[in-house]
Amino acid sequence: MDLEMRDVERALRERASVREAKVMLQRFLSIAASVSKIESLLKLSTDSEDNQEAALAATSSDGEDQGKLMERVASEYNQLHFNVSQCSDVPFVVALKPRIAAIADTLEEGLQRSFVQAITSHDLLSLKQCLRTYAIIDRVGDAEVLFRHSVVQLFMQQVGAVRPAGKKEKEAGAVEMKKKKKEE
């Protein structure tokens, strides 16, 4: 009886191990599919980082279309981020990190451009969509910093309360946004 119990326990451990491996493989497949899907949506190429500018140009079409695209990319990015967080130290995921970083940079730049464009054109629908997208990827703080630097600071300059932002102030704003991103 004791021998049979040990055999059953061993078989259960083997099944659990196989189940864990299967879950990990499914995550890998999901990560690879998400990266490919987002790169195709953003028209990013895996061959060259220079293509990031082309991707930014491609995402700057109509405000409404761009907003929908950014929202779709953000949703997929959120799923990608979750799966990567579950297995971030695995060599497969480590090898994809540069591509994931390029996706994050392109998404961030597209959102910043959309946000500023929506504010300057007083397009409330685009602004709502952009803010919703920032919320999807849990980067509302970035939108707040961008608003502070692109609107409040300009207004304060117009009323003469603040001197124009120099290179150091702009860099400090960028550093502040990157710090918040790293804390997440």
Query: What is the pLDDT confidence band of residue 158, given thresholds at 50, 70 and 90?
Result: confident
Give the pLDDT score at 156: 79
pLDDT at residue 53, rounded to an integer = 53
Q: How confident is the model at residue 64 (pLDDT cuts 50, 70, 90)?
A: low
Per DSSP, helices labelled H in the chain are 2-42, 51-58, 63-86, 91-120, 124-136, 140-147, 153-158, 167-183
pLDDT at position 176: 66
> Going by C-beta distance under 8 Å and a sequence separation of 6 or more, which residues neighbour residue 107?
42, 70, 73, 74, 77, 137
What letter does residue 60 receive in the DSSP assignment?
A: -
Mean pLDDT over 69-96 rounds to 92
pTM equals 0.71
Q: Are 103 and 35 in contact (CB under 8 A)?
A: yes
pLDDT of residue 50: 52
What's the DSSP call for residue 121? T
Contacts of 91 (CB under 8 A, 6+ apart): none
Given a cut of 60, whether residue 61 has pLDDT beyond it is no
What are the Cα distances from residue 79, in Å, to 72, 76, 159? 11, 5, 44
pLDDT of residue 173: 64
Q: How far apart are CA 179 and CA 41, in angstroms?
A: 27
Select the more confidently predicted residue: 8 or 55. 8
Q: What's the farthest any 2 CA atoms get from each other in the chain?
A: 88
CA separation for the pair 29, 25 (Å, rounded):
6
Q: What is the mean pLDDT of the chain?
A: 83
Gap between the Cα atoms of 29 and 132, Å rounded: 28
Q: Tell me: pLDDT of 68 over 80.
A: yes
State the pLDDT at residue 81.
93
- Six-digit token string for 32: 């690879």
pLDDT at 160: 73
